[in-house]
Chains A and B, each alone.
Chain A
Amino acid sequence: MSDLLFQWLRIAAPYLCAAAGGVLSERAGIIALTLEGYLLAGAFGAALGALATDGPWLGVAAGIGAATAVAALHAAATLRFRADQVVTGVALNLLVDGATTFVLRRVYDSSANSPRVEGFGSGGDLGSPVGWLALLALPALWWLLARTRFGLRVRAVGEAPEAATTAGISVARVRWLAVLGSGALAGLGGAFLALDQHKFSTGMTAGRGFIALAAVIFGRWDPLRTAGACLLFAAAETLQIRLQGTAAIPSQFTEMIPYALTIVALATLAGRAAAPAALGKAES
C-alpha cells in the first residue's frame, strides 16, 4: 500500500516542480510552453553534474542552473526582444532537445543515454530528498504568491501590467525574476527525474512538461489546485502502470486523461475566466 503511495508521489514529483514553475511564470504573464525544455535541461544538467562531481546535490544544482539558463533565453527573447511567447517556447523546446543530444555525443559519445548516475543511492521511499522538495514546491509557491512582496508584484504584473507600472513597479524586472524562478523550479523536477532513473536519456521527459502545463490550466493557475491536478494526473498514470497487462483500459486512453480534462476545462467558462489577464500579451 505505501508502495503504491510512494510510486504515485514519485510520478507526481516532476509534475509538481514543473507545474510550480508554470504557475509562477504564467501568473506573471509569460506563457509556460517551455516547461518541457526546462525539465529536459534540468535532467540533463543533473545527470552531467552528478557524473562530473560524484555529488548528487551538485547535480541538482547543475540541473537547476541548466534549466535557469534556458529560462534566461526565454526571458531575453520575450522581454528584451518582445518575441512571440508561443513561438519562442516551441523553439526553446526544440533547442534543448537538440542541444542535450549534441552535448551527450560530445561528452559521452552516445546519442541515447548517459552513463549510470548513482544519485542519492537508495534515497528512501521517495527516491531522493529532492522528492520531498518537490512535494513542497507548490505549497511554498502558494505562500510566496500570497504572502510576500514579490508574490504580490507577480500577481499584479500578470493581471494589470500598466497598473503595476503606474505604481512604480518595473514590470520587466518582475517578469524576468518569475521566468528565471520558473526555470529553476522546473529544473529541480528534471533533476529529480534524472536522479530517480539514474541516467539521462534523450527526450526522457516525454511530454511531462506539457502535462504540467495542463495541470496549471486545469488547476486554474492556483498553486494548491494545480498541486491537486498534478496528483490527479499522476494517480491516473500510476493506476495505468499497475493495471498493465490486466488490459482493463488501454494505456493510450489513460495517457489522454490530463489533456482531455484540460480541453474540457478550457471549453467551459470557468477555465478561461481564471487565466491571468495579461498572459501572453507583449509589452507595449
Chain B
Amino acid sequence: MAGIAKRYGAVAANVEASLEVGRGEIHAICGENGAGKSTLMKILSGGARPDAGTVVVNGRDVTGWGTAEAIAAGVGMVHQHFQLVPTLTVAENLVLGREPTARGRLVLAPALAEIAALCERTGLVIDPVRRVGDLTVGEAQRVEILKALFRGARTLILDEPTAVLSPPEVTDLWRVLRRLRDDGGTIVLITHKLDEVLAAASRVTVMRAGRTVGRLATAGATPADIARAMVGRDVALAARDAGADALATAPPRLVVRDLAVADAAGRRVVDGVSLTVRPGEIVGIAGVEGNGQTELVEAIAGLARVRGGQVTFDGADVTAWPVARRTAAGLAHIPEDRHARGLVLDWSVADNLVLGQQHRFTRAGRLDVRGIAAHAAAQVAAFDIRPGDTSLPARALSGGNQQKVVVARELGGGRDVRVLLAAQPTRGVDVGAIEAIHARLRAARDAGAAVLLVSADLGELLALSTRVLVMYAGRLVHEVEGRVATPEGLGPHMTGAAA
C-alpha cells in the first residue's frame, strides 16, 4: 500500500500512509488512537475505498476493492468488535454468507468436518455446535479468526485483538498466530501496546496522525524506540506546568476507595481502584484505552453502576447520589464522547450550554429563556466559540468548537467547580482549541478544583498533571510525580510489561 489518503468529512484519517508486508510475516501496525491504523486496514480489507494511493496484493493492483473481492483473494479481517451473530452457533456463524446447501437446504455435516480439521490444524479449539452468545470473549475471538480462515484467508488482519483478552488468552493467541505464520500465512496486527509488538511481530510500521512515520525490525528495538516514534511530541512536553503545590497539604477533595465496576457481561472492568485528588491538583490517568478509564470516570460521575467501594466529595459519601445531586455539589464533567454524552447534537448551542444545569436557569418553574440566551452569549464570547451564533445546532460546529461548548458549560458561567472530571478533553480538537482548553483546565485547578484528567495523549498528561497514575487491566499499577514522569518511564506500566 502506498500513498494512501482517506478523509471522513472534515477529518483526514489517512494522509500519505503506506505499508509493506512480506509473505509469511507477522507485521505490527502501531500508533496512538486516531493515528489511522484501522482506516488503513479497512482499505486493505475492502471495507473502505481510498481517496488516493494504490493497494497491491500479491503483485496485483486491487485499489478500491470490496469485501467480497478481498475475501476471494484471501484477505480476511478479524474485527475489534466481533462481527458474529450471538444467537447462532459457531458453525452457523462460520458458514454464514457461503452456506453449503442442497436445493436450498442447509447441509452442515461436511462443514462441521471441515471446521474440526481447521480447529485441529490451527489449535483454535472450539465446539462448533455451541451458541456464540454463550462463549467467553476469548472463545468468540477464536470464532472470529476461524471465520476468516474458513473463508480461505491467507492474509489475516487483526484489529486490536488483545484489547478484550486476559493474559493467558493473549499468550494463546500468539501461539496460534505463529502457527499460522509457520503454515505460510501472513498476519497484520494492529495494536497500540508496545509489548505485543515485541512479543509477536518481526517488523513494525508506526503511524501517527494518519501518516506512516516509521518502519523498523523488532529485533534489537526497545519499547522506547517505538514509543518515541509513536508519540513524537516534544512540543507538548516543553509546556510542562505541574502547578503550584501550595495546596498539597489540603485535605483531599475527591476520594475513591476500592471502587469496582462491572460491565454488561459481569467482568470487573474497574477492579479495586483507590485514589485521592486534592484541591488545586490535577491527577492524570495514563493507560492504554479500554483498561477501565472510561468506566472509572463514569462511576465517579454517577453514570455507571458501582459494584463496590466508595466515592466521596469533600468527605460526603456520594456513591449512591444521582447525577443531578453530584452536579449540584460541584461536579463538572467533560465526557469522553462529546457526541453521545456531551451534547444533544440537534439542539442549539444555547440549549446545550445549560445541559445538566437547567435547574439553575429555572425561575418559578419555568425556563428562564432570556437568562439562557444571555448565558450563551457570554460563554460564546468568553470561550471564543465559533461561529458565534448561539441558535445554531451543536451539530453544525467543528469538533474543536463543540468541545469548547462542553468546556464552557462545565467550567464557565461562574460555577463553583469542586471536582472536575476531564476525559480525553482535547480528542479530535484542533491545535488552537487545545491550547484554550488546557488553559481552562489549569484555571480550574488554580481556582481550587480537584481535577482528574484521563487522556490517551501522554504529552497532554505530562504537561498538565501534578501526579500521574497508570491504569492497566482495571487497576492502578503505578504512580509518579508529574514533574519527573516521562513517556519512556510510563510505557512499560501502560502495557503491563512492568507488572
Chain A positions within 8 Å of B, measured between CB atoms, are 147-153, 155-156, 159-160, 162-164, 166-169, 277
Answer yes or no: B311 CB below 8 A from chain A CBs: no
B: contact size bracket: 20 to 34
- The CA-CA distance from A162 to B101 in the complex, in Å, is 23
Whether A153 contacts B87 by the Cβ 8 Å rule is no
Whether B88 contacts A155 by the Cβ 8 Å rule is yes
Whether B87 contacts A159 by the Cβ 8 Å rule is yes
When distances are taken between beta carbons in the complex, the residues of chain B under 8 Å from A167 are 83, 96-98, 147
Answer yes or no: B84 CB below 8 A from chain A CBs: yes
User: 1/0 per residue B115-158: CB within 8 Å of A?
Assistant: 00000000000000000000000000000000100000000000
Q: Distance in Å from the Cβ of A151 to the closest Cβ of chain B?
A: 8
Chain B positions within 8 Å of A, measured between CB atoms, are 47, 67-68, 71, 77, 79, 82-88, 92-93, 95-99, 101, 104-106, 147
Q: Which 3 pairs show the lowest CB-CB distances between chains A and B?
A: A167-B97, A163-B83, A168-B97
Whether A156 contacts B96 by the Cβ 8 Å rule is yes
Whether B101 contacts A149 by the Cβ 8 Å rule is yes
- The CA-CA distance from A181 to B468 in the complex, in Å, is 60
When distances are taken between beta carbons in the complex, the residues of chain B under 8 Å from A163 are 82-85, 93, 96
Could you write out 11 A-B pairs with CB less than 8 Å apart?
A: A147-B105, A148-B101, A152-B95, A153-B96, A159-B86, A160-B85, A166-B47, A166-B77, A167-B96, A167-B147, A168-B67
Whether A149 contacts B99 by the Cβ 8 Å rule is yes
A159-B85, A159-B88, A160-B83 are contacts. A166–B67 as well, Cβ < 8 Å? yes
With a 10 A CB-CB cut-off, give which of A151, A162, A166, A168 has the most chain B CB atoms: A166
- The CA-CA distance from A129 to B83 in the complex, in Å, is 44
Whether B71 contacts A168 by the Cβ 8 Å rule is yes
Closest chain A residue to B82, Cβ basis: A163
When distances are taken between beta carbons in the complex, the residues of chain A under 8 Å from B71 are 168
When distances are taken between beta carbons in the complex, the residues of chain A under 8 Å from B82 are 163
Q: Which of A152, A168, A169 contacts B106 (CB 8 A)?
A: A152
9 extra A-B contacts, CB within 8 A, seeds A152-B88, A159-B88, A160-B85: A149-B104, A149-B106, A150-B104, A156-B88, A163-B82, A163-B83, A164-B85, A166-B77, A167-B83
With a 10 A CB-CB cut-off, give which of B67, B92, B97, B99 has the most chain A CB atoms: B97
With a 10 A CB-CB cut-off, give which of B71, B79, B82, B96 has the most chain A CB atoms: B96
Q: Distance in Å from the Cβ of B40 to the closest Cβ of chain A?
A: 18
Q: Which of A152, A159, A160, A164 contacts B99 (CB 8 A)?
A: A152
Q: Distance in Å from the Cβ of A275 to the closest Cβ of chain B?
A: 11
When distances are taken between beta carbons in the complex, the residues of chain B under 8 Å from A155 are 85, 87-88
When distances are taken between beta carbons in the complex, the residues of chain A under 8 Å from B79 are 166
- The CA-CA distance from A284 to B135 in the complex, in Å, is 28
- The CA-CA distance from A160 to B97 in the complex, in Å, is 13
- The CA-CA distance from A169 to B68 in the complex, in Å, is 10
Whether B105 contacts A168 by the Cβ 8 Å rule is no
Whether A148 contacts B83 by the Cβ 8 Å rule is no
